[in-house]
């Protein structure tokens, strides 16, 4: 492979912690950026710069893109940690500034943007499975911010830049700190409390996930595939377990039994979960995983646009590897325990 120079933004984040090492391993020259200091896991071969795309110096943003052939734009903010205003600034405004620098540099052959399936929204019924070229109807702050960010990227595409938009669903796997990881923490807490019944709301809610390894391989694949530019790609495992199935896998793994309950707020109250969480920390557990006030937060809400078309991605010859929830959910729980993220 001719030497390609990658810029990975959002490099202190979860997805980049897998993508940047994978690029280095594949022989890319890598420059990575985040706002915080250089992360420990970044391979020594990769250069690192702290640059804030919103409040930072414009010269720093321009210098970041110098000599770069491929941009992997992962920097952004999600609703787990940010207000609507922060999401807008760190997605839309940040991307406007970065892509202006990309356009000015003139060296970039391809820019990949990590968007999200949240752009489709959940209020208006779209065709199922949702194809990428549907008229998106974002319904919440995060989806609206990611949708507006995509418009910035598409405008640069219309101006001649080769852009690729990736739309992953909830990403899970080693290093994930929210969503499925938070559900794993929830079950670990209740096991720690000595419970042997795992209360789950009776209506089953269909879930969707994608493993970080599949997302990283899809990103590398689309970075060089001839038919990728100018297109968007849903990235999802293609398997849709219900909340009951996921709870059942976790319950069995932790030696518990699922008990269906009519109360959406079933299970121990937040104060009790928080107290157990503090006791687990006293026993050496890290606070890496986000403890959500709402128990099983990511499994609660049904999404009428849950199923996503995969024809675009699979049509490029890509193959998903992590599609068995039984294997994947247990592997994540084991990883969390081995890493001291649960006890």
Ligand X SMILES: NC(=O)c1ccc[n+]([C@@H]2O[C@H](COP(=O)([O-])OP(=O)(O)OC[C@H]3O[C@@H](n4cnc5c(N)ncnc54)[C@H](OP(=O)(O)O)[C@@H]3O)[C@@H](O)[C@H]2O)c1
Residues of this chain that bind ligand X (CB under 6 A)? 10-16, 34-36, 52-54, 74-78, 90, 94, 114, 116, 168, 170-171, 179
Helix axis angle, 180-192 relative to 270-282, nearest 10°? 80
CB of 232 to ligand X, least distance (A): 13
Q: Are 91 and 121 in contact (CB under 8 A)?
A: no
CB of 282 to ligand X, least distance (A): 27
CB of 105 to ligand X, least distance (A): 17
Q: Where are the beta strands (DSSP E) in 115-239?
A: 163-168, 171-172, 197-201, 210-211, 231-235
What is the C-alpha separation between 63 and 41, in angstroms, rounded?
24
What is the C-alpha separation between 303 and 208, in angstroms, rounded?
10
What is the C-alpha separation between 280 and 287, in angstroms, rounded?
10
CB of 100 to ligand X, least distance (A): 14
CB of 261 to ligand X, least distance (A): 27
Tokens of 291: 């403890």
**Nearer to ligand X by C-beta: 147 or 277?**
147
**Nearer to ligand X by C-beta: 7 or 15?**
15
**Nearer to ligand X by C-beta: 171 or 333?**
171
Reported as type and span, the H/E element at residue 255 is none
Q: Where are the beta strands (DSSP E) in 94-214?
A: 110-114, 163-168, 171-172, 197-201, 210-211
Helix axis angle, 212-224 relative to 14-25, nearest 10°? 50
Residue written as token pair 């969390």: 336
Q: Provide the sign of the torsion angle of the four alpha carbons 128, 308, 148, 133, taken in this order.
A: negative
C-beta atoms surrounding 229 within 10 Å: 16
Of all residues in this chain, which one has the CB nearest to ligand X in the complex? 13
68 has which bridge partners?
none
**Nearer to ligand X by C-beta: 82 or 243?**
82
What is the C-alpha separation between 186 and 290, in angstroms, rounded?
10
CB of 3 to ligand X, least distance (A): 25
**Nearer to ligand X by C-beta: 12 or 303?**
12
CB of 110 to ligand X, least distance (A): 17
**Nearer to ligand X by C-beta: 18 or 191?**
18
What is the C-alpha separation between 155 and 291, in angstroms, rounded?
38
**Nearer to ligand X by C-beta: 37 or 317?**
37
CB of 326 to ligand X, least distance (A): 21
Cis peptide leading into residue 129 (ω within 30°): yes
**Nearer to ligand X by C-beta: 87 or 285?**
87
């Amino acid at each position: 492979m001719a030497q390609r120079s990658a810029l990975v933004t959002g490099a202190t984040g979860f997805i980049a912690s897998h993508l940047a090492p994978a690029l280095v391993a594949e022989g890319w020259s890598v420059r990575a950026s985040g706002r915080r200091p250089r992360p420990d896991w970044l391979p020594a071969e990769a250069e690192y710069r702290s640059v804030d795309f919103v409040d930072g110096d414009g010269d720093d943003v321009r210098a970041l893109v110098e000599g770069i052939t491929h941009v992997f734009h992962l920097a952004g903010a999600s609703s787990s940690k940010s207000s609507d205003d922060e999401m807008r600034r760190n997605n839309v405004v940040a991307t406007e500034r970065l892509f202006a620098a990309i356009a000015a540099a003139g060296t970039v052959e391809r820019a990949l943007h990590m968007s999200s399936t949240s752009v489709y929204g959940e209020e208006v019924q779209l065709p199922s499975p949702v194809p990428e070229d549907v008229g998106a109807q974002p319904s919440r702050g995060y989806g609206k911010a990611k949708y507006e960010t995509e418009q910035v990227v598409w405008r640069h595409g219309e101006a001649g830049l080769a852009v690729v938009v990736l739309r992953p669903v909830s990403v899970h796997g080693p290093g994930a700190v929210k969503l499925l990881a938070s559900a794993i923490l929830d079950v670990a807490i209740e096991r720690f409390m000595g419970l042997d019944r795992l209360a789950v709301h009776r209506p089953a809610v269909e879930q969707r996930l994608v493993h970080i390894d599949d997302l990283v391989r899809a990103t590398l694949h689309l970075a060089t595939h001839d038919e990728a530019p100018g297109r968007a790609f849903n990235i999802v495992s293609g398997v849709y377990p219900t909340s009951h199935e996921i709870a059942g896998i976790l319950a069995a793994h932790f030696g518990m039994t699922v008990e269906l309950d009519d109360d959406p707020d079933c299970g121990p109250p937040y104060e009790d979960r928080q107290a157990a969480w503090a006791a687990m920390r006293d026993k050496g557990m890290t606070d890496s995983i986000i403890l959500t006030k709402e128990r099983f937060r990511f499994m609660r809400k049904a999404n009428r646009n849950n199923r996503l078309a995969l024809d675009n991605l699979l049509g490029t010859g890509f193959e998903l590897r992590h599609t068995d929830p039984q294997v994947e959910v247990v592997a994540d729980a084991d990883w969390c325990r081995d890493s001291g993220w649960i006890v």
